[in-house]
Structure 1
Amino acid sequence: MCMEKSDWEKCRDFHGHACPGLAIGYRAATMALAALASVRSADEELVAIVENDACGVDAVQVLAGCSLGKGNLIYRDYGKSVYTIGCRNSGKSVRIAVKNNLWPKDPAMVALREKINNGTANFAEREAFHRHQHDRIHYILEMPDEEFCELRHVNVELPAKASIFPSHTCAVCGEAVMEPRARVKDGQIVCIPCAEQYSRGW
């Protein structure tokens, strides 16, 4: 008999591996859903605004049901570990700002990560690194809420639900481009990449 996977296991499988960054997104998403008294968005009931493109965003997608394809995942390239989730039905939103330095820096682990990344770590070093990562994941998942982040209820104007627009053929490359993203160049409809082509002769 197959057992239902836990939410953490679903996030891990979607992301491809378990890591501290995924644990951060998992904590942020679960806390936001609890604060909103909400469940996973089947359609566009929830909207997530994420301020980074790191591992944790995958957990938000899995747990909150927000994705680029549905139009209810908004990415803002601020480089901040901040997640805002709003509910269209209730009109409520929460903003979760993850605190910096969730664990003390370990120079030995920084050096070990470098060896892992450049492929020079031996088996024992890789095992030590994985144990360290496991400990960090457990620490993040179990630490008190007030030590993990600042959670605030906020007023957010959520974007309109995703719309379907007509497409036009780019006069330069011949590919289809949705109407709101089309540009006009020399009196012709073009896509953004073709509109941005510019040359001064070299």
Structure 2
Amino acid sequence: MYATDNDPENLLAQAIAFHGHYCPGLLIGYRAAVLGLRNLGVERATDEELVAIAETDACGVDAVQVVTGCTLGKGNLLLRDWGKQVFLFGRRSDGRMIRVALRHGAMAAEAEGALPEDERRRRVRERIEAMTDDELFDVRWVGVSLPEPARIFKSVRCSRCGEGVMEARVRLRDGEPVCLECYGPEYTRRLT
């Protein structure tokens, strides 16, 4: 269904379909991912050979998943939500990693008056489409340790809620295994 080739137009169309609409944030993630892979000299990952780190939880992350093949489920997409339009892309084979950061002000709306939101987004998107990679992004090679490949952990039953939880996420309370949700001081199973 998704990304069986590396044709940029096909990948953009798939990113739009995956995300649900075409917005400036999705375009930023798409362009960052294409640029990152091009600089690394690699194509879309089929397994865990690439790693992507997103410093935002916004729209662009959806495009990064489609373009790079890095996903949360495979463990090669990491989310570090620092509220920045910054994406890092790395090769496991040699540890090389590139950081692609949106230049401050690149998405700034021009003085467009009281335009409807969809028109404002369209204009911002068109401006982003017209920008060169150098105008849009600050790109640099970085020395960041790549995370280890995903591991499968044993499931342990939480002594408080009874649900299964990954062993690596279990904490002990009074000598009994508890999930992180139950371990937290503000935990309640009641929804009000």
Short-chain TM bin: 0.7 to 0.9
Distance (whole Å) between structure 1 residues aligned to residue 61 and residue 159 of structure 2: 37
Say whether the 8 Å CA contact 1:46–1:88 is kept in structure 2: yes
Point out the more displaced range, 190-199 or 32-41. 190-199
Do structure 1's residue 138 and structure 2's residue 126 form an aligned pair?
yes
After superposition, the CA RMSD in angstroms is 1.9
Say whether the 8 Å CA contact 1:21–1:54 is kept in structure 2: yes
- The 5 A counterparts of 1:1-202 are 6-106=10-110, 108=112, 111-112=114-115, 125=116, 129-197=117-185
Residue correspondences, number: 180
Q: 1:104 to 1:56 in 2, by over 3 A?
A: closer
Runs of 4+ aligned residues of structure 1 deviating over 6 Å after TM superposition are none
Task: Give the deviation of 1:108 after TM superposition.
Answer: 4.8
Task: Give the deviation of 1:146 after TM superposition.
Answer: 1.3
Determine helix, strand or coil for the equivalent of 1:58.
helix
Q: 1:198 to 1:11 in 2, by over 3 A?
A: closer
Task: Give the deviation of 1:140 after TM superposition.
Answer: 1.1
Task: Give the deviation of 1:103 after TM superposition.
Answer: 4.6
Say whether the 8 Å CA contact 2:170–2:179 is kept in structure 1: yes
Structure 1: gaps (5+ residues): 113-124
Say whether the 8 Å CA contact 2:159–2:177 is kept in structure 1: yes
Q: 1:106 to 1:142 in 2, by over 3 A?
A: closer
Say whether the 8 Å CA contact 1:86–1:94 is kept in structure 2: yes
Q: 1:138 to 1:108 in 2, by over 3 A?
A: closer
Say whether the 8 Å CA contact 2:109–2:124 is kept in structure 1: no
Q: 1:136 to 1:105 in 2, by over 3 A?
A: closer
Give me the TM-score of the superposition, normalised by structure 2.
0.86
Determine helix, strand or coil for the equivalent of 2:123.
helix
Distance (whole Å) between structure 1 residues aligned to residue 175 and residue 138 of structure 2: 51
Higher Cα radius of gyration = 1
Give me the TM-score of the superposition, normalised by structure 1.
0.82
Structure 2: gaps (5+ residues): 1-6, 188-192
User: Percent of pairs identical after alignment?
Assistant: 46
